[in-house]
Amino acid sequence: MDNRKTAVEDIVRALNTITGGRVPSGLTDLFSGKNPFVVVKSSGIPGKEVTEIPGLVFGCPGQTVQKLAVLMTLTEVAIELAGATGVDAIVAHHPIADAANCGGVTMKTYLGLYNIAAFELHEAFHGLHPGLSYLHGHRAFRVEIAYGGIPGNIMYVGKALPEVKTLGDILSRLDNLMCMEEDRCMLKAERDVRNCVNVEETNVVTGGKILCGSTDSKVETVLHIFPHTGFTPAHLEQAVREHPEVDTLLASISRVPDGHPLTDKARELGMNFLVGNSHALEIFENGLPLAMALQRLLPGVEVVLFRERYTSTPLKSFGSEAIQSYAGMIADDFLLKNE
């Protein structure tokens, strides 16, 4: 490995290279309103908005970095893993906010304890590569990152790759590329170890699914959307007017619940509709390419990926008999004493 010293400021430059200059150059750029990738996200819930700031969020520019972790969402679990494995810097895809992303305490306190610099990229990374469309079996000829004037409302329109003829081809492609058999094997092993057949895991239960059509339904032109970003049935109608050749609606990152209006609209318009990768697999789609690009630009740094794995376990089957006894004692003697 290259022995040259790498600093936090080198990572900032690398991120700016990767994004083509989307990282703010200073406070003036940050607060001028001219950088479209410095975005305020708000649901209108008082005190809960967050501002996305591409680039360095916490850390000293001159700090040396020997090991860098790329992840999707910063959590206290990730901070602890970083601190225990010698990680000096974390590049998170999603926005970072005090307390929300660091176990309820301030970033300065928690990240400072382990001397970890933190970066985020999110909207500044979106639209840079065709990976999402490629993985789902089409080549996008139109990419929008704010469709309908909504920041983050991403929409692709693409032609199916030569090897993709049907909806079944898309599902098989995703199953192979996302190594889904590994996740199914891991879930089976966990159920066996924990002696609980009711353990569930995100990637397994959110696999690809056809909502309108069948595995044999033909695919030629794909409208690829992300429902959680604000894509509506009205947007679907507008997109179909703009691209009447579209035959397949594809939703990824987020799911479409049963009975969702988008399903009804797709059926009304005579379209195929399927859901692909869930948000839990974005570490493959965006995290892995970002990690590889950083490794190429920063050869003296060890780059690792942090991958989340969430499971669901029935209350009565969670943990050992001893920890169940502990939880019952705490609940009865302290949490329910005023019942």
- Give mean pLDDT, residues 61-69: 97
Instruction: Please choose, from the candidates 268, 267, 227, 221, the residue with its C-alpha nearest in 3D space to the C-alpha of residue 242.
Output: 221
Question: 254-281, pLDDT tens digit by residue?
Answer: 988 888 999 999 999 999 999 999 999 9
The radius of gyration computed from the CA coordinates of the chain, to the nearest angstrom, equals 22
pLDDT of residue 159: 98
Reported confidence tier of residue 189, pLDDT bands at 50, 70, 90:
very high
Q: Where do the domains of the chain lie, and which CATH numbers do they carry?
A: 8-125 (3.40.1390), 131-279 (3.40.1390.30)
Reported confidence tier of residue 214, pLDDT bands at 50, 70, 90:
very high
- Integer Cα distance of 188 and 198 in angstroms: 10
Please state, rounded to an integer, the average pLDDT across all residues of the chain: 94
pLDDT of residue 126: 86
- Compute, in degrees rounded to 10, the torsion defined by CA atoms 57, 59, 65, 67: -60
> In b/e form, how buried is each residue of 147-164, taking b as 16+ CB within 10 angstroms?
beeebbbbbbbbbbbeeb
- Taking the whole predicted model, whether its pTM rises above 0.85 is answered as yes
- Integer Cα distance of 224 and 273 in angstroms: 10
Bridge partners (DSSP) of residue 249 are 223, 273
Contact status, residue 89 vs residue 11, Cβ threshold 8 Å: yes
The answer to whether residue 192 scores a pLDDT higher than 50 is: yes
pLDDT of residue 179: 95
pLDDT of residue 3: 59
The answer to whether residue 1 scores a pLDDT higher than 70 is: no
Instruction: Please choose, from the candidates 100, 95, 91, 111, the residue with its C-alpha nearest in 3D space to the C-alpha of residue 305.
Output: 91
Instruction: Please choose, from the candidates 223, 203, 237, the residue with its C-alpha nearest in 3D space to the C-alpha of residue 273.
Output: 223
Bridge partners (DSSP) of residue 64 are 7
Contact status, residue 44 vs residue 1, Cβ threshold 8 Å: no
